[in-house]
Structure 1
Amino acid sequence: MSPNSHGKVPLTVIGGFLGAGKSSYLNGLIHRGIPEQSLIIVNDFGDINIDVELIEYHNDRMLQLSNGCICCTLGGTLAERLAKAMRLHSRPRAIFIETSGIADPARIVDIAKVSARLELAEVVCLVDGGQIMRYQADRFIEETWCAQLHAATRILVNRLPCGEEERLIQRLRDINPTARIENMDRQGAGLMSSRSAAVDTRPRYRIPVAAGGWKSVSLSMHSPIDAKRLQDLLLGFRDVLLRAKGFLHRQDCSSRYLFQLSGERVNWQPASGKSGSCRLVCIGRSGERFDRLVTELQDLARSERPH
């Protein structure tokens, strides 16, 4: 993937709902080899950019966009940054944008369609197969999730429950009958496409411009945390908490860990060698119950401090 015969730079948009595996997919592309001098833009919903720390690609072309969705509050800024990148003496050979988990990729697609210097390579939507039924049953989530699927030219599904593959993939096909759908649990799935995305003329779902109804908070966790207390607290609010992630120290070991929660799935992964402060980002439905979760997390952080 590199500038085509018309000099346009291919743009790949990587979307998907909270915790679907976008950063892992982008890391996989990087390990398999993306063009040198690629421009990678990673966005995260919240006031700190945890996802950038998860991307294993480091050069002077990594851009961090943290204060809101790429396609919402930062829509204009994204267009300006892309325009600036295209005016550089050494233009990027390819551009990859990982959106936030509540972003509408269609808004980024619109930028590519009107640009004389960009060509849309593909819009990839990652899907957590174990959450498909939950998302379709939750009207708060469904609008966002369906818009992301509808914008995709390729849908990559992971974590499909055993025996449910055919039924769940059909549900995705009902939402977007034109996208290519691949099961990432199968060997060879998820490889980067070499084809340019076709222009999609279907009527689209659209997510309202403001990220209303969602709330994101980041909390400093300076002292080692009791892992079980933290997990029990977060899972007790799973009706309003959609995603939690951060780098934390645990009381039962000296290493720094990457902590991730998506739905009811919790993962701790050693993050040795990574420096920086310890913080936890929580994303969920705004309201009194989410505010109560934040208060209890603050109380937990204070109680863990050495006296």
Structure 2
Amino acid sequence: MPEAAARVPLITIGGFLGAGKTTLVNQILGQAGGQRIVVFVNDFGAINIDYDLVQTRDADRISLKNGCVCCSLNDDFVESVVGFVKQTESPDAIVVEASGIADPRALDSSLAMLETAGMVRSDAKLYVLDAANFQDLEFDDAETIIDHAAVNDIVLMNKSDLVQPEARRKINDLLAEAAPYSQVVETVNCDIAIDMVFGAAPVSSKITKSSGNELQTPQHAKTYQSWSCEFDGLLDREKFEVFAMSLPGKCLRAKGILRFSDAPEEPQLFNLVGYRATVEPKPRTEASALIRFVVIGLAETFDAATLEASFAQVVSEKRNGASD
């Protein structure tokens, strides 16, 4: 298996027509902090309107039109991704905006092939649900949307400001039953922190933390909180596995560089999105041997003190460092 950190992180964005997928792409690009993000924009029609709305340079904006990236344009997509990754200066991340009719599952085989070949690392699958129009959809369309949402890591219940509380509750209840392993985030204009989107190789350099651990950007300061730590030491592998299993439901995102006492010279990358977690080897590309770990969640339910206490039980050896 190729080394994880050498692979380019890739996220997919799905959602029904008009849900706000391109808005989400631009939200991500607006928080990129100077990092290079290549965007694939797919439109089923012959004219790709969304392509012109993506706010990035032309060289990093690829139009896949007059077909669907999950079927007829699949080969073009794979070939283009390989071309970008093999560039002398490969992108920091890749974002794929699928067409409004695409089934998110149809890309799985291509992504798995690209991952196995060491080209990309699938960081997160996002789905944008149009809360304002969901209740007016025909039954078949609504059922399809829920079916598609259920296979994604994060579901953005977008345009939530246009929906009455009772209607939002019904959508949340429906998603909780149909998509129990997806994290649901209510958004306005797909406003979501980029650190929730990208995992072991975050591209955000704009987000800083106050003493209260709130993510300090104008959009997210009151919505998300984080807890993080950095220290020189080792973790107990079995205790960490138990700790990691307790995270889904308590947070939206967790990631880190870890070292375990049974293999101290083999740093590991940990990445949790929703209910999907991975641990894989990290190449020794930097001098730092510190353990670094961050957890991000919704402010209204986030309990940093409990997380810190639980993580402390995982540490088998600690020489120095601090938590935020």
- TM tier relative to shorter chain: 0.5 to 0.7
What residue identity is the alignment partner of 1:177?
Answer: P
Contact 1:113 1:119 (C-alpha < 8 Å) held by counterparts = no
Cα distance in 2 for partners of 1:149, 1:35 equals: 31
For residues 71-220 of structure 1, what are the structure 2 equivalents within 5 Å? 71-115=70-114, 116-135=118-137, 137-139=138-140, 141-142=141-142, 144-160=144-160, 161-164=163-166, 165-185=168-188, 189=192, 191-193=194-196, 194-195=198-199, 196=271
Compared CA separation, residues 187 and 119, structure 1 to 2 (3 A): closer
Shift of 1:67: 1.6
Write the deviation string for residues 50-82 of structure 1: whole angstroms up to 9, x where unpaired: 001111112412111112111121112211211
Contact 2:41 2:50 (C-alpha < 8 Å) held by counterparts = yes
TM-score, structure 1 length as denominator?
0.58
Write the deviation string for residues 239-286 of structure 1: whole angstroms up to 9, x where unpaired: xxxxxxxxxxxxxxxxxxxxxxxxxxxxxxxxxxxxxxxxxxxxxxxx
Cα distance in 2 for partners of 1:187, 1:142 equals: 20
Cα distance in 2 for partners of 1:41, 1:148 equals: 20
Corresponding residue of 2:13: 14
Corresponding residue of 1:40: 39
Compared CA separation, residues 200 and 67, structure 1 to 2 (3 A): farther
Compared CA separation, residues 67 and 35, structure 1 to 2 (3 A): farther
What residue identity is the alignment partner of 1:138?
Answer: F
Contact 2:27 2:190 (C-alpha < 8 Å) held by counterparts = no
What residue identity is the alignment partner of 2:139?
Answer: D
What residue identity is the alignment partner of 2:90?
Answer: R
Cα distance in 2 for partners of 1:92, 1:166 equals: 39
Compared CA separation, residues 188 and 133, structure 1 to 2 (3 A): closer
Cα distance in 2 for partners of 1:156, 1:14 equals: 10
**CA RMSD between the two structures:** 2.7
Cα distance in 2 for partners of 1:186, 1:44 equals: 20
Q: What percent identity do the matched residue pairs reach?
A: 25
Aligned length, in residue pairs: 197
Corresponding residue of 2:55: 56
Compared CA separation, residues 187 and 142, structure 1 to 2 (3 A): closer
Residue segments in structure 1 that go unaligned for 5+ positions in a row = 202-307
TM-score, structure 2 length as denominator?
0.55
SS of aligned partner of 1:169: helix
What residue identity is the alignment partner of 1:123?
Answer: K
Cα distance in 2 for partners of 1:36, 1:177 equals: 33
Residue segments in structure 2 that go unaligned for 5+ positions in a row = 200-270, 277-324
Corresponding residue of 1:27: 26
Shift of 1:126: 0.5
Write the deviation string for residues 98-140 of structure 1: whole angstroms up to 9, x where unpaired: 11100112222332222222111111100111222333x422x
Compared CA separation, residues 170 and 126, structure 1 to 2 (3 A): same
Between Structure 1 and Structure 2, the one with more strand by share is: 2
Shift of 1:186: 10
What residue identity is the alignment partner of 1:114?
Answer: M
Shift of 1:142: 3.9
Shift of 1:199: 11
Cα distance in 2 for partners of 1:179, 1:103 equals: 19
What residue identity is the alignment partner of 2:131?
Answer: G
